[in-house]
A and B are shown apart, each in its own frame.
Chain A
Amino acid sequence: MTHVYVSSIIPAPANTVWALVRDFNALPQWTPFVAESRIEQNVPSDKVGCIRAFSLNDGGRIREQLLALSDYDMSCTYAILESPMGVENYIATLSLTPVTDGNVTFAEWQARFDCPANREAELIQQIGTHVFQAGFNALKRHFGR
């Protein structure tokens, strides 16, 4: 099983950042790579078990299911159901923690998945840099830095 872990500091209070990212249907509002998103079967986006279907700027289509959502821990865990990436058993967690010193946010995004050994390095790079870190960069811009 492959593990990708990326963390960053977002220059805004954790509650504020969480208000934006807890919405499982809000990827187009804050990430640079999601063009459009909808929740299947018209259920609320904070209903655990709901599925988001979204398309990337490059046209790729992905379906992900919400497995856990915690307003207490400020964390969200989801699995990929369908994607063009070629990963299996993919489960990811995005979590926020307040940094009391400076009232900013420590943000972590990590995933575990199976893939062919010869694609591991490429997928770690793609997911770690072009999805997770790119998402954090977007959050930092969104909150003014």
Chain B
Amino acid sequence: MARVHESTIINAPIDAVWHILRNFNSHVDWHPAIATSQIENGQPGDTVGAIRNFTLADGGLLREQLIKLDDEAHELAYCLLEAPLPLNGYVATIKLKPVTETGQTFWTWESTFSPPDHRKQELVTLVAKDIYQAGFRALEDYLGGSGPIHASVHNQTEQGASPSPSYQQIRRHDTSSAGPSALGTLTTQAIVMDTHGGPEVLRPRQVDVPAPGPGQVRIRQSFIGVNYIDVYCRTGYFNLIDPPGIPGMEAAGTVESVGEGVTHVQPGDAVAYACAPVGAYTGLRTMEAELVIQLPRWLDPRMAAASLLKGVSAGFLLQDVYALRRDDVAVVHAAAGGVGSMLVQWATALGARVVATVSTPQKAAIAEAHGAYETVIGRGADFVETVMQVSNGRGADVVYDAIGRDTFAQSFEALAIRGHLVSFGQASGPIGEWDIGHFATKSATLSRPNYGHYTETGPMMEQQATRFFKAVEEHMLTLAEPTLYDLGQAAEAHRDLEARRTTGSIVLKV
């Protein structure tokens, strides 16, 4: 039997440390050894019995089960179910205690397991150093213990010439302490473009992030969603960035500090946003608090960054732009894409029959798995014929078309009398000039919705996000694992996105 016992003092209050650790899936946010992680079966991260399924930076896959969670004693225990190493019978315990004198936290992390004798020393060292000791420092950094925030706090405390921060000073990090921030400007890594152009214009750079003003919030971002609109902003096709500027419309993380008058979120809250103005490709961001959404406990920041913008889009396309009805026939183009796969699942769950179009057999399999009534490979005459069969010759009640030039004419052809063509993108190019009189042949409705107009105020964003979260909770939508890139690799992520080398969402990890 081997036993590992490590303990440390964390320069943050016990509530702040426990708030993170009690979420069994949080390790992907702060522990450097963890590459990806998710709780199986979509359970919340504080469910005793929950299994976290995670990969290490070297690709190793592990599964661990939460077997004890005690908010009163600040203790949790977990055991290993599967691992690439012989850590047989591994059971670990995490315990926190307050250091009342200083406001810090005493953290004990220990475990027992039965390794083969010849590997005992190696494995004990691995667990103690690479997992526990590395984890201690990483969590402190994550909490701002030795990062830029730390420096800021010290600038303030040094005036009092105190060698160790007092309890009150440390309480700035306390998740339970809301109120105006007293912190100044912080520095972080961001992706800045000095000019419009190809992926190469996306360059990492240190930037200053101001303290939140009245009504604002500063977010310590952990994951950033990459969307096709970011490419349009980069090339200048959309005029949303006047260089130099920072692209990106979607990210998730935790609130670092809040400005005056902000009440709906407080420091330590897990939050996300998916809206203009652009500027998401950064480690820290200050923005209007009302656009920031508090994440439900079951949705970790990585999955939120992968899905919020696409889920909100699917929500207003299906319910606001056109109010989908049970038994409608709906066409979804690019049905295995980010928004497309959400549209297929959600529309099917609402009772519509979905005709999905895709470009490859692999993508057809995805659309079918999501419940598409019929799936067509290619977007020529075939899909129009399929729509007519499914609708008994009537045509589609609604067509969701983000392809543009290559599909617009067929989309109109597939439409029923008084059908609704929703054109929400043009991945293949502009649709060209159309005579509006032609729409009279079907009394057709045409919409060209703009994401911004459905999410531009706090209440609108809140309503859209709530609807999306509810759809996931009710299993109308299943969220897919994103492909992760480091923030510094934003240019590479854009190259792969434009070359369609990826499937599913792309997320940048800070």
| A residues apposed to B, CB below 8 Å | 5-9, 97-102, 106, 108, 133, 136
B475 within 8 A of A: no
Using known A-B contacts A97-B106, A106-B106, determine if residue A9 contacts B101 with beta carbons closer than 8 Å: yes
> Across the interface, do B7 and A8 meet the contact criterion of CB distance under 8 Å?
no
Cβ–Cβ < 8 Å partners of B108 in chain A: 97
Cβ–Cβ < 8 Å partners of B8 in chain A: 99-102
Main secondary structure, interface of A, reads strand
Cβ–Cβ < 8 Å partners of A101 in chain B: 6-9, 133, 136
- What CA separation (Å) do A133 and B100 show in the bound complex? 9
> Across the interface, do A7 and B98 meet the contact criterion of CB distance under 8 Å?
yes
Cβ–Cβ < 8 Å partners of A97 in chain B: 7, 106, 108
Q: Which residues 1-29 of B have a CB within 8 angstroms of A? A: 5-9
Additional A-B contact list (16), CB under 8 Å, known A7-B101, A9-B9, A106-B7: A6-B101, A7-B99, A7-B106, A8-B99, A9-B102, A9-B104, A97-B106, A98-B7, A99-B106, A100-B5, A100-B6, A101-B6, A102-B9, A106-B97, A108-B97, A136-B101
> Across the interface, do B5 and A106 meet the contact criterion of CB distance under 8 Å?
no
A8: contacting residue among B5, B100, B133, B136, CB under 8 A:
B100
- What CA separation (Å) do A102 and B7 show in the bound complex? 9
- Report the nearest A residue to B164, measured CB to CB: A9
- What CA separation (Å) do A106 and B8 show in the bound complex? 9
Range for the number of chain B residues in contact with chain A: 10 to 19
CB proximity of A68 to chain B, nearest CB, Å: 20
- What CA separation (Å) do A106 and B100 show in the bound complex? 11
Q: Which residues 124-167 of B have a CB within 8 angstroms of A? A: 133, 136
Cβ–Cβ < 8 Å partners of A100 in chain B: 5-8
- What CA separation (Å) do A98 and B110 show in the bound complex? 13
> Across the interface, do B133 and A106 meet the contact criterion of CB distance under 8 Å?
no
Cβ–Cβ < 8 Å partners of A136 in chain B: 101
> Across the interface, do A99 and B100 meet the contact criterion of CB distance under 8 Å?
no
> Across the interface, do B9 and A99 meet the contact criterion of CB distance under 8 Å?
yes
B101: contacting residue among A98, A99, A133, CB under 8 A:
A133
- What CA separation (Å) do A98 and B6 show in the bound complex? 9
- Report the nearest A residue to B4, measured CB to CB: A100
- What CA separation (Å) do A102 and B5 show in the bound complex? 14
CB proximity of A39 to chain B, nearest CB, Å: 30
Chain A proximity mask over B236-266: 1 for CB below 8 Å, otherwise 0: 0000000000000000000000000000000
The interface centre, meaning the residue of B6, B8, B100, B133 with most chain A CB atoms within 10 A of its CB, is: B100
- What CA separation (Å) do A99 and B10 show in the bound complex? 11
> Across the interface, do B100 and A6 meet the contact criterion of CB distance under 8 Å?
yes
- What CA separation (Å) do A108 and B100 show in the bound complex? 9
Cβ–Cβ < 8 Å partners of A102 in chain B: 8-9
- Report the nearest B residue to A145, measured CB to CB: B163
- Report the nearest B residue to A140, measured CB to CB: B101
Cβ–Cβ < 8 Å partners of B136 in chain A: 101
What are 30 A-B pairs with beta-carbon distances under 8 A? A5-B98, A6-B100, A6-B101, A7-B97, A7-B98, A7-B99, A7-B100, A7-B101, A7-B106, A8-B101, A9-B102, A9-B104, A97-B7, A97-B108, A99-B7, A99-B8, A99-B106, A100-B5, A100-B7, A100-B8, A101-B7, A101-B9, A102-B8, A102-B9, A106-B7, A106-B9, A106-B97, A106-B99, A106-B106, A136-B101
- What CA separation (Å) do A76 and B119 show in the bound complex? 38
Cβ–Cβ < 8 Å partners of B104 in chain A: 9
Q: Which residues 284-298 of B have a CB within 8 angstroms of A? A: none
- What CA separation (Å) do A55 and B97 show in the bound complex? 33
Chain A proximity mask over B94-125: 1 for CB below 8 Å, otherwise 0: 00011111101010100000000000000000
CB proximity of A10 to chain B, nearest CB, Å: 10
CB proximity of B14 to chain A, nearest CB, Å: 10
